[in-house]
Structure 1
Amino acid sequence: MIQDSSVNQKSVSTINVVLAFAIVYIVWGSTYFFIQKAIHDFPPFILGGLRFFLAALIMLIWCVYKKEKLFTGSQIKHAAIGGLLLLFIGNGAVIWVEQYMPSAVVAIMVSSSPLWFVLLDKPKWSENLNSKATITGLLIGFLGIALLFYKSIGSLFSGETSVEAGGLLLVTLAAASWAGGSLYSKYYNSESSAIVNTTWQMFSAGAAFSIGSLIMGEPAQFSPASVSSEAWWALAYLVIMGSIAGFSAYVWLLKVRPATQVSTYAYVNPVVAVLLGVLFAGEEISWLQIAGLAVILISVMLINFAKYRKRKAETSAGNI
């Protein structure tokens, strides 16, 4: 979904908002599955570089066609920082971890990201951290994270090392970086075109992935001829649906809706990812992981419900 002008919450079409949320909810939930398909044949940094460079190139062509103002120094700088936090660190960690762990499990891990939205949204601290419901939601959410990684935490304290323990650290970093990048994008790109902002974010991520690929020596070990058609189709889906449609819709929503409301994609993404992983990839999910997911989602719902009640009360007071 591509929008080419700055909008505000009052003027935006309800249909556009609903469509954007649908794309973010469903399409992004499916990207975990398709990353898993692509990572079998693509090295992680090459996969990230191809995905975001190709998406950025398509977006750039669209920007030129729409005669968007592309080369504004401050706009490029802010978009580049947001892109590195969101796509290189946030999405890159997910790509890396999916080499070793099922896509459904990784999606469940990332479901903690809305908690980081609350903790990192400094302009909203006075509002968020003075709410008993929000504090309760945060505590419940981190209890859910503890359930997810109960086994991994136990292995760390016993002196053992495990892939899941490493995944814990990386995906926690990914969730925090994604929330931080989202908030940065919201507060520092409010006046810029959503499509231009998205384009530069993808270019910056593609460049970072390419540098990482060279440092890791991936090009010397990679042969495009060895990549299966299934992996190429997965890459195409990630470029067109995951990056161009999904990420564009997400960046646009950040401009027209509160960040905590946009973060509700975490309700649906893990469910979509789990269903695809279990039904089509034969992945297994433990009851403890499902319990952890349920607890996290309850905490996010509690946080957002508290905000909804506060906004409703303010609206009612304003109408008196």
Structure 2
Amino acid sequence: MFLGGYMVAAYAAIYLIWGSTYLAIRLAVDSIPPLFMMGVRCAAAGALMLVWAAVRGERATLRHWGHAAFAGALMFAGSYGALAWAEQRVASGIAALLSATTPFWLTAFEWSGGSRPSRRSIAGLIVGLAGVAVLVGGRSTYQLRPAAPGDSLAAFEASSPAAAPGTPLDRRSIPAPLHGAGKVAAGTMAGRPPSFAGHSRRRELRRDLAEAFAAAGRALPPGRLAGPGATPDVRHELLAPIVAILAGTLAWAAGSLYARPPRVPRSLALSAGMSLTAGGALLLAASWSAGELTGFSPREVSSTSLAALAYLVVFGSLVGFSAYSWLLRVAPPSRVATHAYVNPLVAIALGSALAGEPLTSTIVCAGLAIAAGVAFVLAGQIRSTEVTESTERTV
């Protein structure tokens, strides 16, 4: 009876908690620089896991640390860093769907290495990649993330009757409060990361943009980057985060194939803690090198972003990982692996219900195709009882 209750709670953790981490990342990067936020998250979670492993008497060699650091650079610095950066612009549900493609790349890597996948895995690969193509090619994909100041200005310019789509507005036609926003837009749309010097100004810019739209006789569309008349430049800028997430899933797949015993310890807590700590340190170094912290003040971090970061560390990493490692010992691996195609569906539902992310037919169709593809691939990968955490991507 008690085991059944624990089982339900553990599955709820890996389904709901891991599915909700995408929305938590989006909320966290709203007022915290993305690489810095993810670096803190990984370093803190890794340190706590190492303490847990030490209490249990688990140790690692210097050779283990070297391999774990390399895996952490791929899986956490590369994959998590790309995800956090992308979620400044892409909706959390879209990010979750794209992240669910990791089993496809694992299958492709193993196939290229001479391990021929089963017919079921090949079918899943085809169906899943078709879902990705539908998702990336769909117009609604580029209209999901609530607008950043620069993107809102681009949408305003693209939809204004004062100019044809794609034609910049005359500066004199833009209300005075938007002159500063134009500078933010110029930096963002040129591919440079927005400055985090004064995140509190984002709310002011949003208000100014709303006033400008009201003055022009239209409401500022909440939760959209650009309307149907979005210019090709806007679509091009929003394609970059999608490509970054897909590149991150490739990095995760490569790192997970590398981070297997005997390169790393067999203990899940110890190996994950080592890779997380190394990846977190690299992310913090990358944040400093990229100038994310220039002008950034902790006083400007919103309570929502701070709570989201704490949630990612405590629940996303510690509680979720503990539940996952326990389930691997007491439940069939094939059943535990189902979180890989449940998490994106949870992320889409939460993003739509709590963050106002539109739920379109394109997203639903793409999501079902990707989930079905992941299910087929995992079914083809599972051999009787052997599945490890390295075959799946968690956030």
State the TM-score, normalized to the length of structure 2: 0.65
Deviation at 1:311? 4.8
- Residue by residue, what CA displacement relative to the aligned partner does 1:85-121 show, whole Å, maximum 9, x if unpaired? 2211111111111101111121122122221121123
> Contact 1:85/1:177 (CA < 8 Å) preserved in 2?
yes
Q: Equivalents in 2 of 1:284, 1:163: separation in Å?
A: 20
- Residue by residue, what CA displacement relative to the aligned partner does 1:148-191 show, whole Å, maximum 9, x if unpaired? 11147xx9xx9755233112211111122222222222354575
Deviation at 1:26? 2.3
> Contact 1:31/1:238 (CA < 8 Å) preserved in 2?
yes
Deviation at 1:210? 1.0
Q: Equivalents in 2 of 1:204, 1:188: separation in Å?
A: 18
Deviation at 1:46? 1.1
Q: Equivalents in 1 of 2:232, 2:113: separation in Å?
A: 40
Alignment of 1:255-266 (within 5 A): 264-266=338-340
Q: Which amino acid aligns with 2:54?
A: V
Deviation at 1:253? 7.3
Partner of 1:206: 280
* Rg comparison, structure with higher value: 2
Deviation at 1:233? 1.0
Helix, strand or coil: the match of 1:219? coil
Partner of 1:243: 317
> Contact 1:261/1:304 (CA < 8 Å) preserved in 2?
no
Helix, strand or coil: the match of 2:88? coil
Does 2:378 correspond to 1:304?
Answer: yes
Q: Equivalents in 1 of 2:283, 2:116: separation in Å?
A: 37
> Contact 1:114/1:260 (CA < 8 Å) preserved in 2?
no
Q: Judge which range, 299-308 or 41-50, deviates more.
A: 299-308
Q: Judge which range, 292-301 or 275-284, deviates more.
A: 292-301
Partner of 1:7: none
Does 2:275 correspond to 1:275?
Answer: no
Unpaired runs of 5+ in structure 1? Answer: 1-12, 313-320
Helix, strand or coil: the match of 1:126? coil
Q: Equivalents in 2 of 1:39, 1:97: separation in Å?
A: 10
Q: Which amino acid aligns with 1:209?
A: L
Partner of 1:4: none
Deviation at 1:269? 0.8
Q: Judge which range, 109-118 or 240-249, deviates more.
A: 240-249
1:105 to 86, 90, 94: 94
> Contact 1:138/1:299 (CA < 8 Å) preserved in 2?
yes
Query: How many percent identity over aligned positions?
Result: 33
Partner of 1:318: none
Corresponding pairs, count: 293
> Contact 1:117/1:179 (CA < 8 Å) preserved in 2?
yes
Closer/same/farther in 2, CA of residues 219 and 169 from structure 1, 3 Å limit: same
1:166 to 221, 231, 240: 240
Closer/same/farther in 2, CA of residues 57 and 135 from structure 1, 3 Å limit: closer
Q: Equivalents in 2 of 1:307, 1:112: separation in Å?
A: 14
Q: Judge which range, 254-263 or 108-117, deviates more.
A: 254-263
Q: Equivalents in 2 of 1:256, 1:183: separation in Å?
A: 24
* Higher share of residues assigned helix: 1
Helix, strand or coil: the match of 2:35? helix
- Residue by residue, what CA displacement relative to the aligned partner does 1:109-144 show, whole Å, maximum 9, x if unpaired? 21222211211235985341xx33322221122111
Q: Equivalents in 2 of 1:118, 1:187: separation in Å?
A: 19
2:289 to 202, 205, 215: 215
> Contact 2:265/2:271 (CA < 8 Å) preserved in 1?
no
Q: Which amino acid aligns with 2:13?
A: I
Deviation at 1:14? 10
Partner of 2:362: 288
- Residue by residue, what CA displacement relative to the aligned partner does 1:46-73 show, whole Å, maximum 9, x if unpaired? 1012111222222233333333224x11
Q: Equivalents in 1 of 2:48, 2:291: separation in Å?
A: 27
Deviation at 1:201? 0.9
Partner of 2:14: 24
> Contact 2:27/2:304 (CA < 8 Å) preserved in 1?
yes
Partner of 2:78: 89
Unpaired runs of 5+ in structure 2? Answer: 143-230, 386-395
